[in-house]
């Protein structure tokens, strides 16, 4: 894989469900120079984990880490902005994995500086799990790298271009330190997708000229703020509804599909334009539907469709079209089941190949790869790719919100920040986005909104 931040070609059961499944569970490339310190498991072979961000996504990531084989893994510290989230996550994990959880009260940390205290509980060869809203990801990742700690961080990775640049700078530092870094793009570790995309790269459908990715399903509405909750705390508790926290759902959720499409194409896009809107005020301060047209350097197109409304046609799938055929890269969220066709007509009689084997759990697989790299001190660092995929997805959101044609270089150099001075944020800080008198949040206005 090419690791420059140019748009040129590069080489080649969800975590949230864990909280609902706890009862059932309980029942049942980097630098490696000799001068770089080895960041592998300690002599007793136990890899210690610290969790920063104790929602369903983080709790599920811990469960996925516990599923890995090869040696003992133990959770030793937890951090979040809210104590009830720490205690809720800790309780669920203890019930399911009592022998793998060693988090006494003195290693439960709460507040905006809690991430530092949790990371400070680790040493070389350990792993911090970063699963807070992506607005905070760059500073958390930066601190972990400075401390020489291996990292697993969930997508998305930043809410704007300055945050993405900060993350990419830390990614470069992590490579120089030979740190092992996994990111939440578990589909990169999906055997079915790997085989299908390798066949596409080998020419099975010819030159790829069009890609289509869809995430259209029901809404995640933003409720009204309770009177006893501050505006800032409320927004942090409903992050996907506010662009400053996660970049909005187009980035936080659709970045998976954008990353896979660019993997298929073997390139990052050079520009994006799009359109969208908000039909329901409950969408927070973003749109509830987005359509983006990405263009690659060779003129090929990627069309991204993202809509979150009730009562509409729904699908969650990825497709590729080439000069000699086409492909289903993902059938639905439950299983990829990829297929290749000898024409653009995706019917059974036109199939030239379909994946036949078992599809190992990619959430488990990404952790197995990361922990094997830690134990064996083998190169494994996905941070740069994660940052670049974040930038590509960010291009799409900015293009839709502003109504402008946005280039990769524009996005990379943009100084627009949704929230300044995040490193100094406290619960007394005013929320970066304020509601109108009726409690609703203003949506972007293409042609007027500035995000680049």
**pLDDT tens digit at each of 452 positions of the chain:** 333 344 433 333 444 443 344 333 333 333 333 333 444 555 578 999 999 999 999 999 999 999 999 999 999 999 999 999 999 999 999 999 999 999 999 999 999 999 999 999 999 999 999 999 999 999 999 999 999 999 999 999 999 999 999 999 999 999 999 999 999 999 999 999 999 999 999 999 999 999 999 999 998 888 999 999 999 999 999 998 999 999 998 999 999 999 999 999 999 999 999 999 999 888 889 999 999 999 999 999 999 999 999 999 999 999 999 999 999 999 998 889 999 999 999 999 999 999 998 889 999 999 999 999 999 999 999 999 999 999 999 999 999 999 999 999 999 999 999 999 999 999 999 999 999 988 889 999 999 999 98
- Domain annotation covers residue 432: no
- Domain annotation covers residue 437: no
Are 182 and 100 in the same domain? yes
Are 200 and 308 in the same domain? yes
Are 163 and 22 in the same domain? yes
pLDDT computed for residue 130 by the predictor:
98
290 in Cβ contact with 395 (< 8 Å): no
pLDDT computed for residue 4 by the predictor:
39
Other C-beta atoms within 10 Å of 449: how many?
A: 16
3-state secondary structure of 192: helix
- Domain annotation covers residue 312: yes
| Host domain of residue 138 | 18-187+364-382
Are 88 and 169 in the same domain? yes
Structural domains counted in the chain? 2
Query: In angstroms, what CA-CA distances link 345 with 296, 327, 341, 350, 354?
Result: 24, 10, 7, 7, 15
Letter string b/e over residues 27-54, b meaning 16 or more CB atoms within 10 A of that residue's CB: eeebeeeeeeeebbbeeeeebbbbbbbb
423: tokens are 């490193």
Long-range contacts of 346-352 (CB under 8 A, 24+ apart): 346/319, 350/325, 352/204, 352/325
Specify the CATH number for the domain of residue 174: 3.40.50.720
CA angle in degrees (0–180, nearest 5) for 414-243-446: 70
Reported pTM: 0.90
Residue 342 has what DSSP assignment? S
pLDDT computed for residue 261 by the predictor:
98
pLDDT computed for residue 41 by the predictor:
55
- Domain annotation covers residue 99: yes
Are 23 and 95 in the same domain? yes
Rounded Cα gap, residues 388 and 398, in angstroms: 15
Specify the CATH number for the domain of residue 324: 3.30.360.10
Are 233 and 171 in the same domain? no
Are 298 and 210 in the same domain? yes
Q: What is the DSSP string of 136-161?
A: GHHHHHHHHHHTT-EEEE-S---SSH
Placement of tokens 């809690």 in the chain: 114
Are 316 and 419 in the same domain? yes
Are 280 and 172 in the same domain? no
- Domain annotation covers residue 289: yes
pLDDT computed for residue 410 by the predictor:
97
Are 30 and 175 in the same domain? yes
Are 301 and 370 in the same domain? no
pLDDT computed for residue 254 by the predictor:
94
Inter-helix orientation angle 56-66/362-376, to 10°: 60
Residue 354 has what DSSP assignment? E
Are 175 and 251 in the same domain? no
3-state secondary structure of 290: strand
């Amino acid at each position: 894989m090419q690791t420059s931040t140019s748009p040129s070609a590069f080489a080649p059961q969800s975590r949230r469900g864990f909280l609902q499944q706890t009862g059932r569970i309980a029942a049942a490339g980097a630098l490696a120079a000799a001068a770089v310190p080895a960041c592998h498991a300690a002599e007793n072979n136990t890899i210690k984990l610290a969790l920063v961000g104790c929602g369903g996504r983080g709790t599920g990531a811990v469960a996925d880490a516990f599923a890995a084989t090869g040696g003992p893994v133990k959770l030793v510290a937890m951090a979040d902005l809210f104590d009830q989230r720490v205690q809720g996550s800790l309780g669920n994990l203890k019930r399911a994995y009592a022998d793998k959880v060693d988090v006494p009260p003195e290693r439960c940390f709460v507040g905006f500086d809690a991430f530092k205290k949790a990371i400070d509980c680790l040493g070389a060869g350990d792993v911090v799990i970063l699963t807070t809203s992506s607005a905070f990801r760059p500073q958390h990742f930066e601190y972990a790298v400075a401390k020489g700690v291996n990292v697993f961080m969930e997508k998305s990775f930043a809410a704007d271009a300055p945050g993405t640049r900060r993350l990419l700078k830390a990614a470069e530092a992590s490579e120089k330190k030979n740190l092992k870094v996994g990111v939440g793009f578990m589909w990169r570790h999906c055997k079915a997708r790997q085989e299908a995309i390798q066949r596409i790269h080998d020419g099975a459908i010819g030159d790829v000229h069009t890609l289509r990715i869809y995430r259209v399903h029901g809404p995640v509405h933003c409720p009204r703020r309770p009177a006893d909750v501050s505006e800032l705390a409320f927004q942090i508790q409903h992050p996907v509804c506010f662009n400053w926290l996660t970049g909005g759902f187009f980035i936080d959720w659709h970045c998976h599909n954008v990353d896979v499409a660019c993997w298929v194409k073997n390139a990052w896009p050079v520009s994006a334009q799009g359109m969208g809107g908000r039909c329901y005020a409950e969408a927070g301060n973003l749109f509830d539907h987005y359509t983006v047209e990405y263009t690659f350097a060779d003129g090929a197109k990627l069309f991204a469709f993202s809509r979150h409304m009730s009562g509409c046609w729904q699908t969650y799938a990825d497709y590729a079209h080439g000069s000699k055929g086409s492909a289903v890269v993902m059938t639905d969220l439950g299983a990829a089941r990829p297929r290749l066709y000898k024409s653009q007509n995706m019917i059974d009689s036109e199939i030239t190949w379909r994946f036949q084997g078992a599809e190992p759990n990619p959430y488990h697989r990404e952790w197995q790869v990361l922990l094997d790299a830690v134990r064996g001190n083998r190169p494994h660092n996905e941070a740069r790719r994660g940052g670049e995929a974040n930038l590509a997805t960010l291009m799409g959101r900015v293009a839709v919100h502003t109504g402008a044609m946005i280039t990769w270089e524009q996005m990379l150099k943009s100084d627009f920040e949704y929230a300044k001075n995040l490193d100094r944020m406290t619960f007394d800080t005013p929320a970066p986005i304020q509601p109108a008198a009726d409690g609703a949040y203003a949506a972007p206005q293409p042609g007027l909104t500035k995000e680049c």
